[in-house]
Structure 1
Amino acid sequence: FFDFVLNRNENAQRFAIANALKDMTYLASFAQAAGIANPVGAVVRNGFATAVAAGHGEKFVPALSDIVAGLNGVSLVEPAAE
């Protein structure tokens, strides 16, 4: 995961954000059906949902850090050396 964040390796964890959203949605459904509180899972699911809604569903999960940063007007990529 951090190989993407630190070294920009886009293949660090090859699992699409859209798939992660699907899995977290399943988890939320299971927790609700069992009557289990799942506040952290809800936060994670909402992060993936935001990324998908912004058009980033095909990107891999490690890119979420860049997506969240970008939504907040921040870049995690170092500027190119001059």
Structure 2
Amino acid sequence: MVGGKYKLIILHKLATHGIRRFNELRREFPNITQRTLTRQLRELESDGLINRQVYPEIPPKVEYSLSETGKSLYPIFLQIEKWGLEYMENNPK
């Protein structure tokens, strides 16, 4: 569910910054293609980790946010980050 180059980073951005529009996410990742970002967002939505809200406007407005399931992963992300920082501190290269 969180495999893929950008999924964890997308979830982290939504957890720390809240609701984001597509282009806001795109600016956060300058090296990602529109196709890749769209695919990653669709997979996260399909897995129930994010919500996609479409507003009937012209031009279309789409917002992404963490679902309750996605929010429940955030403490796990923090633990992984903590482990990684401790590992790097104890194993310098």
Q: Under a length normalisation based on structure 1, what TM-score does the superposition of the two structures give?
A: 0.33
Higher relative contact order (CA 8 A, sep 6+): 1
Higher strand share: 2
